[in-house]
Amino acid sequence: MTRVFVYGTLKRGGENHHYLAYQQFLGAARTTAGYTLFSLGDYPGMVRAAADTAGVTGELWAVDAACLQQLDLLEGVNEGLYERGSIKLAAPSDEQPVETYLYLGSITGRKAIGSAWDV
């Protein structure tokens, strides 16, 4: 099982949550400082942001290999839209890194939305 931090449409109540339907919800979570969200229209993109002090809120899930492969397809990893990488979560989460999806496209002209995406 791989622990994955989700922050947008994959969260409970989000339009893509069905991808996580048979996986294990581990709880609410927040990244460490240094990340922020931008609106990409119908979904958010999380990017590294050195000036950020709040981090991004979301959910932590334990997913199997088949689900992780589906998430990579959904997030356009092979097309270079997002990259899956390891990040650390803020306390009280443990110190082990988790996987998440970071947006690789341009944020020029995109609306900064801060630490939370409402579903």
19-41 burial, b if ≥16 CB within 10 A, otherwise e? bbeebeebeebbbebbbbbbebe
**For 2-114, CATH number?**
3.10.490.10
Token pair in block for residue 103: 């947006």
Q: Tens of pLDDT along 17-44?
A: 999 999 999 999 999 999 999 999 999 9
- Residue position matching structure tokens 């069905």: 18
Active-site residue flag, 75 = yes
Distance of CA 18 to the CA centre of its chain: 15
Q: Tell me if the pTM is above 0.85.
A: yes
Check residue 37 and give its pLDDT. 97
The average pLDDT across 71-82 equals 97
Q: How wide is the angle at C-alpha 57 spanned by C-alphas 24 and 67, nearest 5°?
A: 30
> What is the Cα–Cα distance from 54 to 31, expressed in whole angstroms?
8
Q: Of 15, 75, 83, 99, which is the active-site residue?
A: 75
